[in-house]
Structure 1
Amino acid sequence: MRAHEAGALHAEGYGGPSWLRPPADVNALVPSLWARSVERGADGALTVGGLSALELAREFGTPAYVIDEDDFRSRAREFKQTYAEVFSGIAGGVDVYYAGKAFLCTEVARWVREEDLFLDVASGGELAVAVRAGVPGERIGVHGNNKSVAEIRAALDYGVGRIIVDSLQEIERVSEVAAELGVVAPVLIRVTVGVEAHTHEFIATAHEDQKFGLSLAGGHALEAAKRVLARPDTLRLLGLHSHIGSQIFDTSGFEVSTRRILGLHLQIARELGHELPELDLGGGFGIAYTTQHDPLSPKRLAEGMARIVELECRADGVAVPRISIEPGRAIAGPSTFTLYEVGTVKPVDLDGGASRLYVSVDGGMSDNVRTALYDADYSCTLAGRRSDAEPVLARVVGKHCESGDIVVKDEFLPGDVRPGDLLAVPGTGAYCRSLSSQYNHTPRPPVVAVRGGEARVVVRRETIEDILALDV
C-alpha cells in the first residue's frame, strides 16, 4: 500500500532504508551504478569520457542528461555478442532488440543501427525517429496495445520486419491495412502467460489482470493464431511474443513463461499444422540504481535463458526457433547520469530526534518521474568537488509545486552540501527523458553525448519559446 509522498518513511528514529548504510567515504563511487568511464578527478569533480562535470555544466547548463556514448555502444555490443555465443548451436540465431521506449532520439537510433541491433518502437513517433535515422525496415518491430490505422499503414509502408499484435481486433485491423496496400504483414502474437515478474506492480506485464497481450489460459492466444493463419493473403505468422516485466534480476520467471509459451508453440504446430520460426522471450533485465540492486551479467542471463529454451524444446521434441530478446533499460540505463545544480538546502526534523537534509535541485519530476510513478530508488553524489564533511541523511527534491516531487528518496551526502553545488544522479538513461514532461511549464533538459573527450548535444534543451509556440 503506497504512503502519502510527504509522509513516506517518517517513522520514529528513521535513519534511511535498511539497505542504505553511511559510507566510509562520501566521495567514493559505486562502479555498478555508473557508466564505465565515470570517475572522480584529481580536483574532486566527477568526470565522464575524460570531461569534467564542471566543464559540462558551464557549457551546457543544468539540469542535463549526460550520456557516455562508448558505454551505451559497449553494452549493446555485449548483449549481441554474448547471446550469439551462448545460443550458437542451440537456436537458428538470436536477435537483440533495443527498446526505443527506454530512450530514443535520432542519434541513439543511429548507434543502434551501427551496432547491428534491431529496434522496437511503440508508436508512430518512435517509428518516425527510426526512419529518420535510416534504420532498415526489416530490423524494426512495432509494439503497442492500440495501434492506429495510420501507425499500421506507416509501418507496413516502410516494410517493418514484425508487428506484434495485441488483440483480436488488431488482427483484423492489420489485415485490412495490408490488403489495402497489397502486402503480407509479418506478425507475432503477444501472449499473456500468467507469470508476474518480481518487480513493481505497474511494470509487471504478463499476469492476467493487465492491458497487454492475449491470454494463454483463456484460449485467446490460440484463437489469435487461428485467425492469423486463416488470412495467408494478408498476414504471415512469424511466432509468439512474451514479456513478463521490467527491472528483473533473475531467470526464474523466464523459466515458467518459456515453458508455457513453448507449450502454445507446440500446440500450434500439432493442431494447426504450422511450426513457427520465431520466439520472442522479451527481456526487461534489471540494472543497479542503488547498492540494493544486484543485476545479472548478460552472460549469466543468456546462459540461464538458453538452458531453459533447450530443455523445454528437447522435452517437447520441437526444433528451437530463432530467439529474440529485449534488454530494455539494461543498455540505456547505466550509460547516463543527470547533472543538477543545488538551489536550496534545509534540515527537517523527523520523529524520534532524527533529521533529514532536504536538498532542492533545478530539475525534478519533469525530468525524472520514476520516483513518483514507481516509488523508484536512486542514488546521487556531489559532482563538482570533493568533501571532507561527515555524511548526513539527505533527500533530493525538485523545484516543482508538488509534494511528491522527489528525485532521490534517501542518500548520504556530505554535510556541507550547499547552494551552487553540482549533484549527479546515475542510472537515468532509461525512462527519464522518455517520460519527461513540461510540468509547471518547465523546459526539458538537453541530452549531451560524451565520447573521446568531446561532448555534443544530441537533443537540445527546450526553451520557453518552444512551450509558448504550442499555444494557439
Structure 2
Amino acid sequence: MTHEAGWAHAPGALRGPSWLDRPTDVNALVPQLWSRTARKVDGDLVIGGVAVADLVAEHNTPAYVLDEEDFRHRARAFRDAFDEAGWDVYYAGKAFLCTTVAQWVAEEGLCLDVCSDGELTVALRAGFPAERIGYHGNNKAHVELRRAVAEGVGRIVVDSFDEVERLVAITEETGTTARVMVRVTAGVEAHTHEYIATAHEDQKFGFSITSGDALEAVRRLVAAPRVEFLGLHSHIGSQIFDTSGFEVAARRVLRLHAQVAEELGVTAPELDLGGGFGIAYTTQDDPADPADLAAGMQQIVTGECAALGIERPRLSIEPGRAVVGPSMCTVYTVGTVKPVTLDAGAVRTYVSVDGGMSDNVRTALYDADYSCTLAGRTSEAPPVLGRVVGKHCEAGDIVVRDEFVPADVAPGDLVAVPGTGAYCRSMASNYNHALRPPVIAVRDGAARVVLRRETVDDLLATDMGAHA
C-alpha cells in the first residue's frame, strides 16, 4: 500500500512506483516503448539505421528524432484495419505536423484533421488535398471559416451556434457550399486525464445531446440552402486503450442520427466517432492493435445500427497520437547529476538535461509518465532510481518522473526519451527564451532535417526593441 505522503516514504521506496520494474539490464530497450527500427548496437542507440550519437555530433541536443519507417507503418496499419471495415482515418495534425509529415499522411492514404488556420496553411503548403481535410476547433473566427470554405475543405466540424451563424452567412455572401459536421457531446466519461477527456457535459467542446442543442444545431444547418450537412461528430477523449468507452457514445450518437432522419427528414451520410487511441509511454501502458480496435468499433456500430433499424453511415475515426507518438524520441545531453536523499532515507538521482518543459510540457501539464535510456554508451553500473529534469527555472520542470538509470550516469552522457512524437514539438515553447529543437527524420541509414532548430535571430525577430 502506498504511504499517505507518497510512495517515496513507504517501505521499499528505492524500488520506485509499483509499476516500475527494476531492470536486469539497465542498457536494454523495452521494445514496446520505442519505434520499430530502434535498437542498441554496442551501447549506441540506433534509429532508422542512424546512430543517435552521430546525429548529435552534427545537430547537437536537444533534438527530436523521427522514425519515418515507423510512422508510415503505423499509418498504414490504421488505414488498412479501418479501410477493411469501410472507415476513413483522420491523422491528428495537432499531435505533430510539418509539410513533410503532411506529405507522408497523404501518401499513405489517410485524411488529415486540422484545428487552426496555421495547421491548414501547413497542410495546403504540403499539397495535401483539401477535400481530405477536416477542420476542427471550438472558436473558429469568421476569416478562418471563410478561408476553409474557399479552399474547399472536405468537412468543417461546427462547435457552437455562433459558428453556425458565421458559416451560414459566409456561404450566402460567397455563393459557395460548405460541407459540415456537428460536434456533439455524448456525456461519456473517458478513463483518461480530465484535460483530455472531451465528451462529458461540462467542457468547451460540442453541442449537448441531452439538452437538445445538438438537434437544434442540425436543424439550423439543414435549413441553410448552401450548407451540406454530412453528419455528427463525437470524441470521448485521448490516450484510450480499448473500445469499451465508445459503446455508450456510439449508442447515443446513433440515436441522434436516427432522430435527425425521423424528425428532419435528413439521412446524414457520415458519422465520426473520434478515437484518441493510446500509446505505451511506460510499461504500465498496453495499447491495442489497430486491427483489434477496428474490429471492436465495427462490432459496436453494427450492433447499434441493427438495434435502431437504420443503415450504417460512412464512418471515420481519428487515432490521435497513436500514429506519430511512438515514432519519435527526444535526445538530450546530461549537464549535471545530483543524488538527493529523501525523507525516508531513500536516494533519488536527479539527472539534469539540456531541454525540459520547453520541448516536452506533458509531464508538467498532464502529470504524464515517460521512460528513458542511456543513448551513447554501455554502462556496467547497477541501476539506481532516477528522475530526469530540465534546465528551466521551475520545480515542476520534469521530463521523466521515475526511471532506473545507470549509477554512473554523468555529465556529457546522451539520454533518449521515447514516445515524444505527439504533443511535444507541437506544444514546445520559448520558455526562458529556449530555442525549439529540430526534428530530424531518419530512414534506411539516412537523416534529414524536417524542422530546423530555432536560432537567436528567430528568437529576436518579433522583439521590436532589438531592431531599433
Q: TM-score, normalised by structure 2?
A: 0.97
Q: What is the DSSP-based 3-state SS (H/G/I as helix, E as strand, rest coil) of the residue aligned with 1:351?
A: coil
Q: What is the DSSP-based 3-state SS (H/G/I as helix, E as strand, rest coil) of the residue aligned with 1:119?
A: strand
1:246 aligns with 2:238: yes
Q: 1:271, CA displacement in angstroms?
A: 1.0
1:468 to 444, 460, 468: 460
Q: 1:359, CA displacement in angstroms?
A: 0.1
Q: How does 1:340-419 map to 2 (within 5 A)?
A: 340-419=332-411
Is 1:448–1:457's contact at 8 Å kept on the other side of the alignment?
A: yes
Q: 1:344, CA displacement in angstroms?
A: 0.2
Is 2:8–2:346's contact at 8 Å kept on the other side of the alignment?
A: no
Opposite residue 18 of structure 2, the aligned amino acid is S
Opposite residue 22 of structure 2, the aligned amino acid is P
Opposite residue 11 of structure 1, the aligned amino acid is H
The corresponding residue for 2:118 is 125
Q: 1:38, CA displacement in angstroms?
A: 0.1
Q: How does 1:8-19 map to 2 (within 5 A)?
A: 10-13=8-11, 14-15=13-14, 16-19=16-19
Percent sequence identity is 66
Q: What is the DSSP-based 3-state SS (H/G/I as helix, E as strand, rest coil) of the residue aligned with 1:409?
A: strand
Structure 2 distance, partners of 1:303, 1:60, is 43
Is 2:350–2:388's contact at 8 Å kept on the other side of the alignment?
A: yes
Is 1:12–1:351's contact at 8 Å kept on the other side of the alignment?
A: no
Is 2:347–2:385's contact at 8 Å kept on the other side of the alignment?
A: yes
Opposite residue 356 of structure 1, the aligned amino acid is R
Q: 1:10, CA displacement in angstroms?
A: 4.5
The corresponding residue for 1:156 is 149
Q: How does 1:78-93 map to 2 (within 5 A)?
A: 78-85=77-84, 87=85, 93=86
Opposite residue 247 of structure 2, the aligned amino acid is E
1:224 aligns with 2:222: no
Opposite residue 133 of structure 1, the aligned amino acid is A
Number of residues paired by the alignment?
458
Structure 1 distance, partners of 2:20, 2:319, is 27
Opposite residue 445 of structure 1, the aligned amino acid is P
Structure 2 distance, partners of 1:334, 1:374, is 18
Q: What is the DSSP-based 3-state SS (H/G/I as helix, E as strand, rest coil) of the residue aligned with 1:352?
A: coil
Deviations 1:204-245 (A, max 9, x none): 0000010000001111001111111111x2211100000000
The corresponding residue for 1:90 is none
Opposite residue 308 of structure 1, the aligned amino acid is I
Is 2:8–2:344's contact at 8 Å kept on the other side of the alignment?
A: no
Q: What is the DSSP-based 3-state SS (H/G/I as helix, E as strand, rest coil) of the residue aligned with 1:338?
A: strand
Q: How does 1:28-67 map to 2 (within 5 A)?
A: 28-41=28-41, 43-67=42-66
Q: 1:12, CA displacement in angstroms?
A: 4.4
The corresponding residue for 1:4 is none
Q: What is the DSSP-based 3-state SS (H/G/I as helix, E as strand, rest coil) of the residue aligned with 2:278?
A: coil
The corresponding residue for 1:259 is 251
The corresponding residue for 1:23 is 23
The corresponding residue for 2:448 is 456
Structure 2 distance, partners of 1:21, 1:127, is 43
Deviations 1:241-272 (A, max 9, x none): 00000000111110110011000001001111
1:191 to 184, 191, 197: 184
Structure 1 distance, partners of 2:442, 2:373, is 19
Is 1:12–1:350's contact at 8 Å kept on the other side of the alignment?
A: no
Pairwise CA RMSD = 1.0
The corresponding residue for 1:69 is 68
Is 2:373–2:405's contact at 8 Å kept on the other side of the alignment?
A: yes
Structure 1 distance, partners of 2:454, 2:173, is 40
The corresponding residue for 2:273 is 281
Q: 1:8, CA displacement in angstroms?
A: 7.1
Opposite residue 223 of structure 1, the aligned amino acid is E
2:261 to 265, 269, 272: 269
Q: 1:9, CA displacement in angstroms?
A: 5.5
The corresponding residue for 1:210 is 203
Q: 1:461, CA displacement in angstroms?
A: 0.0
Opposite residue 216 of structure 1, the aligned amino acid is I
Opposite residue 172 of structure 1, the aligned amino acid is E
Structure 2 distance, partners of 1:9, 1:237, is 53
Deviations 1:246-299 (A, max 9, x none): 000111110110011000001001111111100001010000000000011001
Structure 1 distance, partners of 2:293, 2:31, is 20
Is 1:67–1:450's contact at 8 Å kept on the other side of the alignment?
A: yes
Opposite residue 30 of structure 2, the aligned amino acid is V
Structure 2 distance, partners of 1:200, 1:96, is 24
Structure 2 distance, partners of 1:178, 1:380, is 51
Deviations 1:369-397 (A, max 9, x none): 00000000000000001111100000000
Q: 1:11, CA displacement in angstroms?
A: 2.8
Structure 1 distance, partners of 2:241, 2:87, is 21
Q: What is the DSSP-based 3-state SS (H/G/I as helix, E as strand, rest coil) of the residue aligned with 1:387?
A: coil
Opposite residue 127 of structure 2, the aligned amino acid is G
The corresponding residue for 2:170 is 177
The corresponding residue for 1:234 is 226
Structure 1 distance, partners of 2:108, 2:83, is 14
Structure 2 distance, partners of 1:321, 1:183, is 25
Gaps of 5+ in 2: none
Q: What is the DSSP-based 3-state SS (H/G/I as helix, E as strand, rest coil) of the residue aligned with 2:9?
A: coil
Opposite residue 364 of structure 2, the aligned amino acid is A
Opposite residue 443 of structure 1, the aligned amino acid is L
Q: 1:404, CA displacement in angstroms?
A: 0.4
Deviations 1:317-340 (A, max 9, x none): 111100000011000000000000
Structure 1 distance, partners of 2:457, 2:96, is 24
Structure 1 distance, partners of 2:58, 2:143, is 41
Is 1:288–1:294's contact at 8 Å kept on the other side of the alignment?
A: yes
Opposite residue 468 of structure 1, the aligned amino acid is L
Structure 1 distance, partners of 2:179, 2:60, is 45
